Structure 1
Amino acid sequence: MIRQVRSVANAVLAAGLAVSGALLGASPAAAAAAPTALPASQFTLTADYHQFDTLNSALVTTLGTSAVHTVMENANHDRQPLPSSFSVAGLSTGFRFDDGDNSDCQSFPQGITTSRDAVGTADSGNYDGHQLVLVSWYTKDGCGGAQQRSRITLADWDATFPNKYRKILLVEPTGTAAAPSFKDIPIHAGGVSWYGNYLYVADTGRGMRVFDMRKILNTDTGGTADQIGRQSGSVYYAHNYAYVLPQIGTVTAQTTSADKLAWSSISLDRVSKSIVMTEYTCQSSCTDYPNRPPRAVRFPFASGATTFAATTTASQALQLPWYNLNGVASHNGRWWFNSSGQKKLYYWTPTAGPSTFAWVGGGESISYWEDTTDPDLLWSLQETTGGRNVFAVTQATYGGG
């Protein structure tokens, strides 16, 4: 059950929308072409969770770590209620980032996952005592510049705690054991999944980068905005971030297909204990993305673990009939795909076939929220500057049943 206390503004919003019928319609349109099966054996992963062990051990010794509960005790940004102008069918709850993050033309929210992904429904989905919504971001070197770095935000979603969130910079360890350091990770961070203690972040051309939520490092605030890593002695700057999360390993994708996978978005399926991914592709005329039908692939975790085996073969692969896909979710044999370009949410099961629903503009990743007492939800978000809403809808509204 979500224990977040709704603000008066949100209560008024819900009531007003219910009366006015202002919610976007959720009636499915005419059935579209359906996904078709591909040979799953042509997609494999290799995993290395110890890639940076020596450097990370040295960084922990030098800088020390902060547990998630400590980070949240020092959360320094106020999340806001959803605005009255926001509408989507099946709306359950949500929030907006503070004004600075909502209007930032250099940084863009992309992936979403929650502590319910991490630990399930036990103890209300609390990780280290907190029920959390985690969002990944990428930052450009200017409002129209190149990707420069990536980060996550942790937002408390529990009435026990203030309506706060905290930013944590994602970094890659560098240097030596005697003089460890770290550098920015300039990836799109289009999808993110939290499973157990591990955070998996999509890396478009590679697969996934892996982080350990037990190894959040303390850094020195101050310095200039562009300073990153070891400065001198034991002084470590991180663009004035107080916390950084260092990469621990890499999950690399291989394929015998002519086209390598473009890891645009990922999501956790707790039922089948797997991560699903999908590709952002165009039907034609794209210069920065592939012009071909996209695929979705499921990769199972090692038995009884929250890690992948050294080598993993996909358990399911699909050719998709839809394009411009920024989000994917799967749960108990059901699939959802978000097309930001079409403002559509596609639902599909092998037995029921496909359905198409109206969806928000600027939509990004999706995370399935299991609940033992209330309806299950789909969490999602918008990247649009000035309209960065993080929201949850009842999954049954979108074909889930």
Structure 2
Amino acid sequence: MIRHIRTAARALLAAGLLVTGTPAGASPAAAAAAPTALTASDYTLTSDYHQYDTLDSALATTLGTSAVHTVMEHANHDRQALPASFSVAGLTTGFRFDDGDNSDCQSFPQGITTSRDAVGTANSGNYDGHQLVLVSWYTKDGCGGAQQRSRITLVDWDATYPDTYRKILLVEPTGTAAAPDFKDVPIHAGGVSWYGDHLYVADTGRGMRVFDLRKILNTDTGGTADQIGRRPGGAYYAHNYAYVLPQIGTVTAQTASGAKLVWSSVSLDRVSRSIVMTEYTCQADCVDYPNRPPRAVRFPFAAGATTFAATTTASQALQLPWYNLNGVASHNGRWWFNSSGQKKLYYWTPTAGASTFAWVGGGESLSYWEDATGPDLLWSLQETTGGRNVFAVTQSTYGGG
């Protein structure tokens, strides 16, 4: 995430694109500090998956929907290979966006999830017949401007399409059943988790917004880049996006004690069937984010569902000793935390303790990739303009065992 940090030293530390010195993951340094347990019952969620039912139904009737495979058949951007200069220990695979997205000073990639999150390893991790990597982005109203909207990118990962991706605008339904409309979702989209058909997108000060990938809407192209929503005459424009994904509901967080949670990043843990979240905070000098130790909290899904119950109590809460955290992952009792500001990847289990590994600069969210036939992976990405590498490393390289 792009952060407003006052000191020049911190800015220079966060700017690096590649790991320098000892290769990342080559030799972990023992961490002096480790997470400590907090009272999990202090953290709860309330969920509403039917918040926009009437408007979503009206929009689908008016505009029509497209399945994920149809969207990908019309993918109009080509992903590129990782540059030869990119190096990180345990590197297995990855890609880079096209030149336009790689250098865009208005839009920044943030969260990452995959069809392996959505469906697991069954049927080779295919959703709607295909393996996909999904990345969330936020867009400003100009280079260095105010946050304006957010989107997702669906990226082919089995070369069926081949090697392509498509952008889909995230929107919030508005209007009435007789005249449905939509507007931009101006959130940071710092983390994203795909579980079943549901997409959970972090909303920093609130919790998560929920979307359903079976409900992608078709829109009209040909309008101007700033046009959004229903126009006189009945056309629906979306900044020239051909597809939009409307919000279906909201998952709202409550905190019984301590500061309100800052939902900076989220990730799916398929083993415990939960979403884990973490906060971006600083030791000092943050302008837009808290200057205090961060927390990580685990929230379980309802039994047998890809949704949360109406009210959910956290099953685990941790006080963390690390700062500038942009990514979190958990799997089978193990945790990973990515610090963009420190260029470190922290690994922790309650029994083995904590370890620290060198990591990339500009690093963002993490996603755990289960594999039935090969080593499990950790996916991550960099947001830095000109160096937006999306990559996967063997999780065992980073303490995962």
TM-score by shorter chain over 0.5: yes
Contact in 1 for aligned 2:22/2:358 (Cα 8 Å): no
Give, in angstroms, the shift of residue 159 of structure 1.
3.3
Could you report, residue by residue, the CA deviation over 1:371-399 in whole angstroms, capped at 9, with x for unpaired residues? 00100000000000000000000000000
Q: Report the equivalent of 2:290.
A: 290
Paired with 1:376 and 1:239, the residues of 2 have a C-alpha distance of 38
Q: Report the equivalent of 1:159.
A: 159
Contact in 1 for aligned 2:95/2:390 (Cα 8 Å): yes
Report the residue type matching 2:69 in the other structure: H
Report the residue type matching 1:355 in the other structure: S
Report the residue type matching 1:325 in the other structure: L
Give, in angstroms, the shift of residue 23 of structure 1.
4.7
Paired with 1:68 and 1:395, the residues of 2 have a C-alpha distance of 29
Q: Report the equivalent of 2:304.
A: 304
Paired with 2:383 and 2:55, the residues of 1 have a C-alpha distance of 34
Q: Report the equivalent of 2:222.
A: 222
Q: Report the equivalent of 2:73.
A: 73
Give, in angstroms, the shift of residue 24 of structure 1.
3.4
Contact in 2 for aligned 1:62/1:234 (Cα 8 Å): no
Paired with 1:96 and 1:26, the residues of 2 have a C-alpha distance of 24
Paired with 2:91 and 2:251, the residues of 1 have a C-alpha distance of 35
Paired with 2:106 and 2:347, the residues of 1 have a C-alpha distance of 32
Equivalence map 1:332-371=2 (5 Å) = 332-371=332-371
Contact in 2 for aligned 1:32/1:356 (Cα 8 Å): no
Q: Secondary structure at the match of 1:337?
A: strand
Q: Report the equivalent of 1:14.
A: none
Equivalence map 1:2-401=2 (5 Å) = 23-401=23-401
Contact in 2 for aligned 1:46/1:312 (Cα 8 Å): yes
Give, in angstroms, the shift of residue 338 of structure 1.
0.1
Contact in 2 for aligned 1:77/1:166 (Cα 8 Å): yes
Give, in angstroms, the shift of residue 52 of structure 1.
0.4
Q: Secondary structure at the match of 1:55?
A: helix
- Number of equivalenced pairs: 381
Report the residue type matching 2:118 in the other structure: A
Give, in angstroms, the shift of residue 160 of structure 1.
3.0
Paired with 2:75 and 2:32, the residues of 1 have a C-alpha distance of 45
Give, in angstroms, the shift of residue 257 of structure 1.
1.6
Q: Secondary structure at the match of 1:232?
A: coil
Could you report, residue by residue, the CA deviation over 1:82-115 in whole angstroms, capped at 9, with x for unpaired residues? 0011000000000000000000000000000000
Give, in angstroms, the shift of residue 31 of structure 1.
2.2
Q: 1:23 to 1:284 in 2, by over 3 A?
A: closer
Paired with 1:161 and 1:75, the residues of 2 have a C-alpha distance of 8
Contact in 1 for aligned 2:25/2:90 (Cα 8 Å): no
Give, in angstroms, the shift of residue 27 of structure 1.
1.1
Contact in 1 for aligned 2:23/2:358 (Cα 8 Å): no
Contact in 2 for aligned 1:44/1:255 (Cα 8 Å): yes
Q: Secondary structure at the match of 1:145?
A: coil
Paired with 1:220 and 1:307, the residues of 2 have a C-alpha distance of 32
Paired with 2:29 and 2:23, the residues of 1 have a C-alpha distance of 16
Give every structure 1 segment of 4 or more consecutive aligned residues whose post-TM-superposition deviation is greater than 2 Å.
Answer: 21-26
Q: Secondary structure at the match of 1:302?
A: coil
Contact in 1 for aligned 2:173/2:181 (Cα 8 Å): yes
Could you report, residue by residue, the CA deviation over 1:336-359 in whole angstroms, capped at 9, with x for unpaired residues? 000000000000000000000000
Paired with 1:22 and 1:178, the residues of 2 have a C-alpha distance of 62
Report the residue type matching 1:220 in the other structure: D
Paired with 1:181 and 1:288, the residues of 2 have a C-alpha distance of 32
Q: Secondary structure at the match of 1:117?
A: helix
The RMSD of aligned alpha carbons is 1.0
Q: Report the equivalent of 2:4.
A: none
Report the residue type matching 2:384 in the other structure: T
Q: 1:316 to 1:229 in 2, by over 3 A?
A: same
State the identity %: 89
Report the residue type matching 1:253 in the other structure: A
Give, in angstroms, the shift of residue 25 of structure 1.
4.5
Could you report, residue by residue, the CA deviation over 1:42-85 in whole angstroms, capped at 9, with x for unpaired residues? 00000000000010000000000000000000000000000011
Paired with 2:37 and 2:165, the residues of 1 have a C-alpha distance of 41
Contact in 1 for aligned 2:82/2:389 (Cα 8 Å): yes
Contact in 2 for aligned 1:133/1:154 (Cα 8 Å): yes
Please give the TM-score of this superposition, normalised by the length of structure 2. Answer: 0.94
Give, in angstroms, the shift of residue 286 of structure 1.
1.1
Contact in 2 for aligned 1:22/1:87 (Cα 8 Å): no
**Which has the higher mean CA deviation after the structures are superposed, 383-392 or 253-262?**
253-262
Report the residue type matching 1:76 in the other structure: N
Paired with 1:373 and 1:130, the residues of 2 have a C-alpha distance of 17
Q: Report the equivalent of 2:8.
A: none
